[in-house]
């Protein structure tokens, strides 16, 4: 009998199992393919109806058989109970399926919102409003962590809110600290509960994560005696996974946006030229500094190939370095590069280029910056020029110093020679004087007069020597501006000295000839200095001429507006190597010593100084063993007055 009853209810059980399997399959498909719910939901309802109809028909069949006397099947209470249980289970499954459908629809809505939206606030609002609309939750809020506080981002159902919650307080603080979701079915039993409004029954708090770090809290509360359950908690946990993804994407997007904005600001406000170009060197972005440097507007530069503004000779090196960048041989390169501005000006720059790659590591763009070093290059050029000039000046100065040093050495030699000569010149007359004084003292004959004559001559020699030294010292101290000059007739001065030098020439058995210009030769000069000049020249001519003649001539050179005093002789002459030095102080010719002619080497130096003080010039011509000619050029009165 029991086997018969089991056999009778087996069809009902089989129908029930078929329905359960179909519900399970459809539920799984619906979770992953929510866009097909419009198809799966009617299918499940159709299967459920078929099960109910099949069960009802089967029960009717059993009841009909009971009423049929010929039937051996009699429905009993067990059959009716099984059908009722099946019907109740169907309604339970249908309710669960409807909830599952709503959950799937909500999660699908959240996924769509996340995939379509990057703005975090928009995503938060979509999630909160979607949960409220789909499940009828009346109190929902979402907080994000800022420092040590939870800050409210969006809420539904509260007329009063808690804007900030310290992580050390309340259930929220516990969830943030532990990182675990929490369901409080009865908040009245929770002393740490923080209620924004009265009448709250239950609370669900789920932590939100970004890269495994707690960043916020999703909170659902209930009122009006409704308690939240583990099913609600499971839904919130599932939902939080999607919110976590949204937070991560929003953070990445915000980081990208912030980095892009930072790059844009840096690029735009950079004080140096910056250029973004594609792989074919076409400009895709420039900053104002680039426009200012090259003289082009931004619209003119965009799309332009960089070779159009580059100095042609620098392009091959630039292209080679870009190829090495693309090949990964370097991360950036730096080179000097010249550019041609719109105005035609040549610009010297230091170019630094880096390669930007896309998410797959493929070369995407070049970013370059150009530092204008045109002024620096010009400064370097000027510095090189100055260095060259300085080097030349140093070389010139070195030569001058070397020459001056050589001159000092020569002067030192002259000084030494002068000291020797002056000592000899002083020693000779002093020795003669001492000898004559001794003879006068011991010789009682009538020769005392001869001795005194010699002493007198030697004293004159000493006097002349001292006069030369003193005269030269005075001339060196005289300045042209302070020298008193007056009109002088040169011929008149020479005539006054004529008797003296004729006597000396006769004593030396020489012929002294004068050829003076008949017209007066007027100059501005000093009587005393002109006499000294003429005396030194004529005295030297007589001393250095043993036989022959000495000639004095004066004349005017109209082309130069100068008076000329010319003294020539047929004497010893001057060696060619001595000619450049004869006007130097203390200088005496190389062969003077063999002539036993006294002197200190100051006579001609004095002549030169006097000529210079009178704004004149001196010339000399000499042929050894044939004679010497000195010419003195002195400005005439008219020319000097013009000065």
Phi, then psi, of 229 in degrees rounded to 5: -120, 180
214 has a pLDDT exceeding 50: yes
Q: Give the pLDDT of residue 59.
A: 55
pLDDT of 639 above 80: no
Question: What's residue 141's pLDDT?
Answer: 94
Query: Cβ(219)–Cβ(172) under 8 Å?
Result: yes
- Residue 231 is predicted with a pLDDT of 87
Task: Name which residue leads in pLDDT, 253 or 102.
Answer: 253
What pLDDT, on the 0 to 100 scale, is given for residue 126? 83
Tell whether the torsion through CA atoms of 62, 67, 70 and 74 is positive or negative. Answer: positive
pLDDT at 34: 38
How many CA atoms are closer than 13 Å to the CA of 304, on its beta-carbon side?
A: 18
pLDDT tens profile 597-613: 666 677 888 889 889 88
pLDDT bracket for residue 360 (50, 70, 90): confident
pLDDT confidence of residue 292: 92
Higher pLDDT, 34 or 285: 285
User: Distance between CA atoms of 61 and 73, rounded to whole angstroms?
Assistant: 10
CA distances from 507 to 464, 501, 568, 599 (A): 19, 10, 18, 19
pLDDT at residue 347 tops 80 = yes
Q: What pLDDT was estimated at residue 30? A: 45
Contacts of range 285-292, beta carbons closer than 8 Å, 24 or more positions apart: 290/370
Confidence class for position 642, pLDDT limits 50, 70, 90 = very low
CA 592, CA 534: separation in Å to the nearest integer? Answer: 22
- Classify residue 472 by its DSSP letter: H
| CA dist., res. 527 & res. 490, Å (int) | 9
- pTM higher than 0.85 for the full model? no
As a whole-number percent, the residues of the chain with pLDDT over 70 amount to 68
Residue 196 has pLDDT above 70, yes or no: yes
Q: Is the per-residue pLDDT at 476 higher than 60?
A: no
pLDDT at residue 296 tops 90: yes
Share the mean pLDDT of the chain.
79
**pLDDT at residue 39 above 60?**
no
Q: Is the pLDDT of residue 41 over 50?
A: no
List, in order, residues 6 or more apart from 578 with CB less than 8 Å away: 587, 589, 590
Q: What is the pLDDT of residue 326?
A: 92
Q: Please compute the mean of the pLDDT values over residues 37-50 and round it to a whole number.
A: 50
Highest-confidence segment of 11-25, 316-330, 576-590: 316-330
Tens digits of per-residue pLDDT, 363-373? 999 999 999 99
Q: Which of 13-22, 429-438, 539-548, 555-564 has the lowest mean pLDDT?
A: 13-22
- Of the two residues 233 and 40, the one the predictor is more confident about is 233
| 129-174 confidence digits (pLDDT tens) | 888 887 788 999 999 999 999 999 999 999 999 999 999 999 999 9
- Region 24-53: what's the mean pLDDT? 49
When pLDDT is cut at 50, 70 and 90, the band that residue 184 belongs to is very high
Residue 343 DSSP SS3: coil
Contacts of 537 (CB under 8 A, 6+ apart): 565, 567, 607, 630, 632
Do 274 and 286 contact (CB within 8 A), yes or no? yes
Contact 586, 422 (CB under 8 A): no
- CA 262 → CA 122, 255, 259, 265, 367, distances in Å? 24, 10, 5, 5, 15
pLDDT, mean of residues 523-531: 88
- Report d(CA 641, CA 637) in Å as an integer: 6
Residue where the block lists tokens 């020479």: 494
Rounded Cα–Cα distance for residues 27 and 104 (Å): 9
Residue 468 has pLDDT above 80, yes or no: no
């Amino acid at each position: 009998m029991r086997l018969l009853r089991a056999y009778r209810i087996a069809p009902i059980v089989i129908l029930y199992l078929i329905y359960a399997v179909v519900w399970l399959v459809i539920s799984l498909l619906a979770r992953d393919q929510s866009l097909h719910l419009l198809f799966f939901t009617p299918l499940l309802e159709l299967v459920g109806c078929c099960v109910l109809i099949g069960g009802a028909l089967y029960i009717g069949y059993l009841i009909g058989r009971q009423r049929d006397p010929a039937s051996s099947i009699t429905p009993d209470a067990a059959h009716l109970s099984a059908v009722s249980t099946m019907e109740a289970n169907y309604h339970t499954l249908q309710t669960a399926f409807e909830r599952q459908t709503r959950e799937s629809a909500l999660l699908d809505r959240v996924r769509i919102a996340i995939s379509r939206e990057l703005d975090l606030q928009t995503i938060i609002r979509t999630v909160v409003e979607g949960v409220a609309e789909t499940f009828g939750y009346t109190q929902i809020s979402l907080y994000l962590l800022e420092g040590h506080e939870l800050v409210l981002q969006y809420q539904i159902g509260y007329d009063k809110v808690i804007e900030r919650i310290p992580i050390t307080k309340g259930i929220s603080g516990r969830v943030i600290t532990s990182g675990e979701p929490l369901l409080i079915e009865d908040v009245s039993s929770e002393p740490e509960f923080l209620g924004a409004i009265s009448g709250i029954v239950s609370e669900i708090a789920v932590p939100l994560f970004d890269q495994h770090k707690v960043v916020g809290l999703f909170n659902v509360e209930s009122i009006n005696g409704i308690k939240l359950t583990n099913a609600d908690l499971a839904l919130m946990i599932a939902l939080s996974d999607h919110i976590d993804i949204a937070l991560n994407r929003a953070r990445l997007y915000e980081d990208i946006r912030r980095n892009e904005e930072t790059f844009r600001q840096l690029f735009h406000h950079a004080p140096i030229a910056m250029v973004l170009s594609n792989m074919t060197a076409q400009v895709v972005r420039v900053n104002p500094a680039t426009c200012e440097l090259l003289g082009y507007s931004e619209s003119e530069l965009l799309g332009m190939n960089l070779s159009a503004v580059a100095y042609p000779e620098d392009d091959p090196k630039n292209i080679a370095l870009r190829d090495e960048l693309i090949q990964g041989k370097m991360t950036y390169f730096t080179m000097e590069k010249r550019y041609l501005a719109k105005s035609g000006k040549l610009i010297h720059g230091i170019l630094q280029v880096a390669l930007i790659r896309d998410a797959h590591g493929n070369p995407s763009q070049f970013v370059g910056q150009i530092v204008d070093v045109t002024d620096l290059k010009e400064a370097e050029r000027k510095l090189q020029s100055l260095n060259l000039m300085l080097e030349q000046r140093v070389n010139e100065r070195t030569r001058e110093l070397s020459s001056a040093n050589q001159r000092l050495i020569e002067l030192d030699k002259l000084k030494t020679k002068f000291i020797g000569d002056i000592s000899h010149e002083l020693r000779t007359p002093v020795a003669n004087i001492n000898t004559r004084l001794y003879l006068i003292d011991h010789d009682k004959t009538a020769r005392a007069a001869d001795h005194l004559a010699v002493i007198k001559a030697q004293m004159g020699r000493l006097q002349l020597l001292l006069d030369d030294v003193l005269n030269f010292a005075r001339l060196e101290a005289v300045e042209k501006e302070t020298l008193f000059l007056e009109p002088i007739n040169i011929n008149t001065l020479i005539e006054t000295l004529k008797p003296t030098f004729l006597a000396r020439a006769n004593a030396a058995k020489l012929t002294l000839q004068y050829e003076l210009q008949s017209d007066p030769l007027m100059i501005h000069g000093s009587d005393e200095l002109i006499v000294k000049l003429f005396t030194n020249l004529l005295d030297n001519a007589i001393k250095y001429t043993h036989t022959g003649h000495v000639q004095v001539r004066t004349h005017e050179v109209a082309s130069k507006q100068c008076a000329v005093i010319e003294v020539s002789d047929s004497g010893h002459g001057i060696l060619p190597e001595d000619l450049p030095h004869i006007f130097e102080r203390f200088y005496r010719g190389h062969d003077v010593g063999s002539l036993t002619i006294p002197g200190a080497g100051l006579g001609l130096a004095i002549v030169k100084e006097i000529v210079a003080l009178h704004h004149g010039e001196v010339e000399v011509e000499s042929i050894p063993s044939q004679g010497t000619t000195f010419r003195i050029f002195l400005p005439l009165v008219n020319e000097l007055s013009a000065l």
